[in-house]
Amino acid sequence: MSDVVTIKNVIEEAYDTKTFVFDWDAEARPGQFIMIWVPGIDEIPMSISGISENTKSVTVKAIGEATRKIHELVPGDRMRIRGPYGNGFDLDCGEKLIIGGGVGTAAIMPAVKATGADTIIAARSDKDVIMEDIASASAENVWIATDDGSLGFHGNAVQLMKEKVAQKHYDCVLACGPEVMLYFTYKACEELGLRCQLSMERYMKCGAGVCGCCVMDDSRICRDGPVFDNEKIAKLTEFGVSKRDECGRTVKFR
């Protein structure tokens, strides 16, 4: 159902990314998302990046008209949201390694906070790394990977993950990030015999499992997902390959 919430706090996470903390006492699980209305412009899905009893947060990268408009919001402003939607992560899966790529890091942060599990934050460059401080407050081990080597490990999330998995036993990898990162995370987990739970993204309309616009094969990202495990991912022929546009047309990634 929908709620009108008041923004309590705005945190600059990076030059193009802000966290908006708002009053909301709804029950939400790590990995769930909400739909945010940007009046006159759009309504967009956004992962919940912080969960406490009376407040929740979203972490927004300004990349389009709607997200730029959200960036103009200040404490005291109101947002109309609906949700929470989606299945979320199953945190009862043994020793976890949690990976966030780019702004996808926002989606894994509640799981990091809830478990204190080892965490990899990956980004293009040091200026794109977000929420390291929040992760470090809960997790003993927080490793950074940047594509250009400007901070931490020089390389991508999957390369660093393989290194860490060789050094320590993990049962399950939880990840959210660009689809290409998730695709190779899945491939690596299959090779290494690791369980994984990956949070996916698709163009969305209803968010509530009704319209079927966000399907990947026969699975609704908004309701059956956004988090999928090894067995479900194995059946997704469109994962890493193609997506549907607003008209429902197949668009290949490459």
Partner 1 sequence: MVSLKTEVGGVILERPGMVASGIMDETGPSMVRMLENGAGAVVTKSVGLTPNAGHANPCFMEVTSGYVNAMGLPNPGIELFKEEMDVAVPKGKIVGSVYGATPEDFSSLAGRMEDYGACAVELNLSCPHAKGYGMEVGTDPAMVKAIVSSVKDAVSIPVWAKLTPNTHILADIGRAVQDAGGDAVVAINTLKAMVISPEFARPVLSNKFGGLSGAAVKPVGVRAIYDLRTVLDIPLIGVGGISDWRDAAEYIMAGASAFQVGSAIGTVGIDVFDRINKGLEQFMSDYGYSSISSMVGVAHE
The nearer residue to partner 1, 153 or 203, going by C-beta atoms, is 203
Count other Cβ atoms within 10 Å, centred on residue 94. 10
| Interface residue with partner 1, options 29, 96, 220, 243 (CB under 8 A) | 220
Instruction: Report if residue 254 touches partner 1, rule: CB under 8 A.
Output: no
* Shortest reach from residue 37's CB to partner 1, in Å: 6
Instruction: Report if residue 218 touches partner 1, rule: CB under 8 A.
Output: yes
* Shortest reach from residue 213's CB to partner 1, in Å: 6
Residue 110: cis peptide before it, omega within 30 degrees of 0: no
For residues 33 and 101, what is the distance between their CA atoms, to the nearest angstrom?
17
Per-residue DSSP letter, 127: G
Instruction: Report if residue 215 touches partner 1, rule: CB under 8 A.
Output: yes
For residues 138 and 140, what is the distance between their CA atoms, to the nearest angstrom?
7
The nearer residue to partner 1, 231 or 246, going by C-beta atoms, is 246
| Interface residue with partner 1, options 75, 94, 149, 248 (CB under 8 A) | 248
For residues 206 and 97, what is the distance between their CA atoms, to the nearest angstrom?
32
Restricted to residues 65-124, the positions that interact with partner 1 (CB under 8 A) are 78, 80, 82
* Shortest reach from residue 177's CB to partner 1, in Å: 24
Phi, psi at residue 66, to the nearest 5°?
-70, -45
Q: Tell me the C-alpha to C-alpha distance, in Å, between residue 146 and each of 40, 66, 79, 122, 155.
A: 37, 27, 33, 6, 6
> Are 33 and 83 a contacting pair, CB within 8 Å?
yes
* Shortest reach from residue 39's CB to partner 1, in Å: 5
Count other Cβ atoms within 10 Å, centred on residue 46. 22
Instruction: Report if residue 27 touches partner 1, rule: CB under 8 A.
Output: no
Instruction: Report if residue 244 touches partner 1, rule: CB under 8 A.
Output: yes
Instruction: Report if residue 26 touches partner 1, rule: CB under 8 A.
Output: no
> Distance from CA of residue 92 to its chain's centroid?
19
* Shortest reach from residue 16's CB to partner 1, in Å: 22
The residue ranges that bind partner 1 (CB under 8 A) are: 1-2, 4, 35, 37, 39-40, 42-44, 78, 80, 82, 205-213, 215, 217-218, 220, 223, 244-250
